[in-house]
Structure 1
Amino acid sequence: MKILLVGATGLVGSHVLRQLLDDPRCQAVIAPTRRPLALADVRLLNPVVDFAQLPESADWWAVDAVICALGTTLKQAGSREAFAEVDHQYPLRVARLARSHGASTFVLNSAKGADPQSRFFYNRVKGALEQDLRGLGYPSLTLVRPGLIGGQRAEHRRGERLASAVLRALRPVLPRSWRINPAENIAASMVEAAMNPKTGVRSVEADQLV
């Protein structure tokens, strides 16, 4: 299969990229990024793009499946508007373009509690994206909804590290849905959803990613 991966430089996306390149079912990976990847592989195409102005007629949109691990934080984005652009508008634009070129499967790294009616802005943006993706007509749409993601990020997220320490200490008494979700587990779930697509809309919840 030919897979389009967006968000390849992030924690989950980098695991997805490595797993795809290790998977014999994967014929090619197209991973558009803002800066070139420090990785070379004969099956990897890495177009450098501006996600605000994506090339609509590029040949590499013609793929079997899309895996979306794009995402940022409010602090990194600098404003609610900028956060919504990265976490809602960019993924939706990618999904529309890939669908118009024939992609039949879309896999999204969303979030636990995603709900367009949520009181929390982060969950509301994630829920709005899920809702909009449902309207694009993908024969197979998988929404992966992790809780706190475990793994070594390139950037320092103090609050996330404190929460991880607390959850690790409480792990024996926590229900599965509140445990840390390792990035490699999330990536594995996304890769399998792309490689072995199921018809319809399905979700993978946090307790399935422990």
Structure 2
Amino acid sequence: MKTAIVFGSTGLIGGHLINQLIQDNYYTKIKIFVRSQTSINNEKVEVIIIDFNNLANHKTEITGDDCFFCIGTTKQNSPDKNDYQKVELDIPKEIAQIAKANSVKSFIFISSIYANPNSSGNYVKFKGLVEEELKRLNFSKLGILRPSFLMGKRKENRVGEKIGIFAFSALSPLLFGPFKKMRPISSENVAKAMIKIANSNLEKTVFESNEIVELTSS
């Protein structure tokens, strides 16, 4: 029986992840870390209010078997460049470092298609830098997922993403080879893949969007 640690439980992927973890018999406890109270109510779930500006104060609480990290933001929600970097780069790195110090076995991270630490674009650059840090920490099990456009019902309206989903959905039948990973993907399937990676002995650590689909269909 295992304890799951979840960051990003109220997001598009995180919502599916929590529902699936609740139904998963491998997990007897689910620790979710949130900024404010949540409506999630289940006997397996422990809600922990966390101050992301003082993560060191929560070191003793970030303990368990598998850490699932799916926090993310947008330039629209975090227009200040320092806040944006904090959410996309600093927070995931610090949480991973604490998890490793606390002997958390697995770290499963939602990255991005085309993540690259040398990119000129901050979003994929920060994701790439987090990936590098996760690899350096050498968890017993590491899963890095790079989904393309996420399909699912969001709380906020992302016009650009909707346009991208529409365009690439229409083009999906034509996307083969290296472009196959650009096909839109179900957020529910991404959550399913996170759990499968944490509970399987897989040789891979980085999963492109099309590989996430293949993983959940096998």
TM category, shorter: over 0.9
Cα offset for 1:172?
A: 2.1
Q: Is the 8 A contact 1:56 1:97 kept in 2?
A: no
Is 2:209 the counterpart of 1:206? yes
**Residue 145 of structure 2 contacts residue 212 of structure 2 at CA under 8 Å; is this kept in 1?**
no
Task: Summarize the Cα distance change of 1:57–1:177 in structure 2 as closer, same or farther, 3 Å threshold.
Answer: closer
Is 1:184 aligned to residue 188 of structure 2? yes
Give the AA of the match of 2:210: D
The whole-number CA distance in structure 2 between the counterparts of 1:145 and 1:188 is 14
Normalising by the residue count of structure 2, what TM-score does the alignment of the two structures yield? Answer: 0.90
> After alignment, is 90-99 or 165-174 more displaced?
165-174
Q: 2-side partners of 1:102 and 1:178: how far apart?
A: 35
Task: Tell me the amino acid that sits aligned with residue 100 of structure 2.
Answer: R
Contact 2:67 2:108 in 1 (8 A): yes
Q: State the 1:197 CA deviation.
A: 5.1
Paired residues, number: 208
CA drift at 1:198: 4.4
RMSD over aligned Cα atoms: 1.5
Match of 1:95 in 2: 96
The answer to whether the Cα contact below 8 Å between 1:146 and 1:205 also exists between their aligned partners in 2 is: yes
Distance in structure 2 (CA, Å) of the matches to 1:165 and 1:22: 32
Runs of 4+ aligned residues of structure 1 deviating over 6 Å after TM superposition are: none
Equivalent-residue separation in structure 2 for 1:87 and 1:121 (angstroms): 9
Further displaced range: 132-141 or 10-19: 132-141
Offset at 1:205? 0.7
Q: 1:56 to 1:138 in 2, by over 3 A?
A: same
DSSP-derived class of the 2:58 partner: coil
Identity %: 25
CA distance in 2, matches of 1:141, 1:115: 18
Structure 2 spans left out of the alignment, 5+ residues: 214-218
- Look up the SS of the partner of 1:169 in the other structure: helix
Aligned to 1:70: 71
Q: Larger relative CO (CA 8 A, sep 6+): 1 or 2?
A: 1
The range that moved more, 3-12 or 97-106, is: 97-106
1:149 aligned to 2:150?
A: yes
Pick from 195, 199, 204: which aligns with 2:199? 195
Q: TM-score, normalised by structure 1?
A: 0.93
Deviations along 1:72-115, one digit per CA (max 9) or x if unpaired, are: 01111113221110011111111111211110110100011111
Q: Which residues of structure 1 form unaligned runs of 5+?
A: none
The residue that corresponds to 2:112 in the other structure is: 111
Aligned-residue offset at 1:151: 0.8
Q: Which amino acid aligns with 1:171?
A: S
Counterpart amino acid of residue 56 in structure 1: H
Q: Would the aligned equivalents of 1:108 and 1:142 in 2 still touch at CA under 8 Å?
A: yes
Q: 1:195 deviation in Å?
A: 2.5
